[in-house]
Chains A and B, each alone.
Chain A
């Protein structure tokens, strides 16, 4: 009599069957999920990208994040491959007082931590951690000495093969269930078309509750990206991004708001030019505002920045010069 080979996890010595897909009849509801899933896998759709980066390509040709006024100096010190500190001085701005900002950042493959503190002892901190390639958590905190101005934001991202989902909570209070809660989902429908939706719930106090929903669509072509976002209250935002060649990108944005008999629309055109030694961004919109930022890389680790902003309708202008040193 031969002794049966030892089979782990098999009671009564019955050899366990290899896990294989059970074939369900098409009318059996138990099989609908797996058949939808296998159909979905066969389509082989790409990931549509993150919801919050929906307008990213267009916004990157604009200079909203790059414009400054007054004089600015940035000193970046790379202390090692994954640790850097930055000192930022700004002076002579028309809108902000003179400021000093210190930043420390630590990055590894999966974790990113960054903290900034300014001379008014306001602290901003960000922690981002990737649990797996598809799951990411982000915590953003803002701490001030002014009571009621501190805030914290918790965020969880899930990136699937053909969809992205994100939930966010700003200033959540589990005791009274107040705060701002957001959930968004973006799904690829064909290899270049994706649709998505975002739901926002605002509960600043226990009495007031407000919710908002928006629908988005994104079409990605060979060298262009078109997006549209419809918000329930009559707000439409449409963007178009076109890559002219590897050095020149253009973006257009149209914002329409029709609320309570008042209609407003603003269109913005921006262009980004990458030269060998410089990056130039220019932007003009229908309110008569033109702005431009030039970043000239004079030498390795040394950049010179010029920024200008002219509002022809209001007759306001802002200019800035800056240097950036990195070592």
Chain B
């Protein structure tokens, strides 16, 4: 395998790692907010006591 291909693969892995690192929890919250029954209100998610 050529070194440039290897470098490209490493870069792709690095970028997707960052995407999963910061995007996974928002994704879980998005799924929870839109696909659960009954749909929870946004206020309930944010405020610590409601």
Chain A interface residues toward B at CB < 8 A: 75, 77, 79-85, 87, 102, 104-106, 113-115, 117, 121, 123, 125, 141, 143, 150, 175
Contact = CB atoms under 8 A, between A and B. Distances in A.
B36 A125 contact: no
Interface of B: 1, 6, 9, 17, 20-22, 24-25, 28-29, 31-33, 35-40, 44-45, 48
Given A80-B40, A123-B25, A175 B31 contact: no
B9 A83 contact: no
Contact of A115 (B1, B28, B33): B28
20 contacts: A79-B32, A80-B37, A80-B40, A82-B37, A87-B48, A102-B25, A104-B25, A104-B28, A104-B29, A104-B32, A106-B32, A106-B35, A113-B31, A114-B28, A115-B25, A117-B25, A121-B21, A123-B21, A123-B25, A175-B6
Contacts of B6: 175
Most buried by B among A75, A80, A114: A80
Contacts, number: 66
A170 to B, nearest CB: 16
Nearest to B22: A123
B48 A80 contact: no
Nearest to B1: A175
B40 A83 contact: yes
B30 to A, nearest CB: 9
A280 B36 CA distance: 35
Contacts of B22: 123
Contacts of A81: 36-37
Given A106-B28, A141-B20, A143-B17, A80 B9 contact: no
Nearest to A75: B48
B20 A80 contact: no
A125 B39 contact: no
A87 B9 CA distance: 37
B20 A125 contact: yes
A53 B47 CA distance: 38
A125 B39 CA distance: 23
B47 to A, nearest CB: 10
A106 B27 CA distance: 10
A79 to B, nearest CB: 4
A80 B28 contact: no
Contacts of A141: 20, 24
Q: 7 shortest A-B CB distances, which residue pairs?
A: A83-B32, A79-B40, A143-B21, A80-B36, A115-B25, A83-B36, A104-B28
A152 to B, nearest CB: 9
A123 B17 CA distance: 11
Contacts of B32: 79-80, 82-85, 104-106
A87 B49 CA distance: 12
A83 B20 contact: no
A84 B32 CA distance: 8
